Structure 1
Amino acid sequence: MYKNLTLTSIIGGLAVVLGAFGAHILKNKLNTEEMASFETAVRYQVYHVIVLLIINLSHTFSSKEKKIMTYLFLLGILFFSGSIYAIYLAEISSKKIWFITPLGGLILILGWLYLGIIFFKKSA
C-alpha cells in the first residue's frame, strides 16, 4: 500500500511543479491553445492523483484491486499527460507521438471502468 502512496505522492508533487512551470515559464512561449492543452495535462494528472490517494487509503478495496487501479491510472497519466508534456517541454513533434495521448486517455477510461466494475460487484 505504501509503495502505491509513495508513487502517487511523487506524481502529485510533479503535477504541482509542472503546473507552476507552465504558469510561469511557458506562458510566454506557448499560444493560448497550446497553454490550454498543457493545463489539461496538469489538471488530468491532479484529478487522477487525488483518486489514487482515495483508493489507496480506502479499506474498500483489496490489495490486488488497489494495485491494478494504481497501474492503470499511473500508466494513463504517463501516456496522456506525459505525451502532452513531451510535445511542449521536449518539443517533440506531435506528429511523431500523436497516438500516445488518446491511448493514455483510453487507459484512464479503463481505470474508471475497472473501478465501476469493482463497485458493481461489491453491491451485488
Structure 2
Amino acid sequence: MKLFVIFGSVLGLLAVASGAFGAHALENHLDAPMLEIWETAAKYQMYHALALFGAAWLVTQDPTSNWANTAGWAFFIGTLIFSGSLYILTLSGIKWLGAITPIGGVSLMVGWFSCLMAAIKLK
C-alpha cells in the first residue's frame, strides 16, 4: 500500500512538472500535434497517479487481494510505458515508439479491470 502511495505521489509530481514543461519550455520548439501528444502523456500520467491512490486504498481494505495489488502494479507499469513512450517520441521524433504506447494502454486497462474485481470482492 505504502509503495503505491509513493508511486502515485512521484508520478503526480512529475505529471505537474511535465505539463508545465510542455506548456512553457516546449511551446516554441514543437509543432501543435507533438505538443498535443505531450499533453496526452501528462494527462494520462496524472490520471493514473491518482488511480494508484485508489489501488492503495483497495489494498488497505484487503491486503491479501491479488486484484488490488495487480491494479497498483498495472497502473504503475502502464503509466511508465504509456506516458514514457509518448514523452520520448515527442522529444526524439522516433515514430516507432508509438507502437509501444498501446502496451502501456493495455496495462492501464488491466489496472482498471483489476480495481473493478478487487471492489467486487470486497466484503
Q: State the TM-score bracket (shorter-chain normalisation).
A: 0.7 to 0.9
In the superposition, the TM-score normalised over structure 2's length comes to: 0.86
Cross-structure match for 1:17? 17
Could you tell me whether the CA contact under 8 Å between 1:41 and 1:84 is conserved in 2?
Answer: yes
**Aligned partners of 1:109, 1:43: CA distance in 2, in Å?**
16
1:117 and 1:57, CA in 2 relative to 1: closer, same or farther beyond 3 A? closer
Residue 71 (1) aligns with residue 73 (2): yes
1:48 and 1:18, CA in 2 relative to 1: closer, same or farther beyond 3 A? same
Q: 2:84 aligns with which of 63, 78, 82?
A: 82
Structure 1 residue runs of 4 or more that deviate by more than 6 Å after TM superposition = none
Amino acid at match of 1:60: Q
**What is aligned with 1:116?**
116
Please report the RMSD computed on the Cα atoms of aligned residues, expressed in angstroms: 1.8
Structure 1 position 65, deviation (Å): 4.0
Count of aligned residue pairs for this structure pair:
121
TM-score scaled by length of structure 1: 0.85
Q: What does residue 54 of structure 2 align with?
A: 54
Gaps spanning 5+ residues in structure 1: where?
A: none
The gaps in structure 2 that reach 5 residues or longer are none
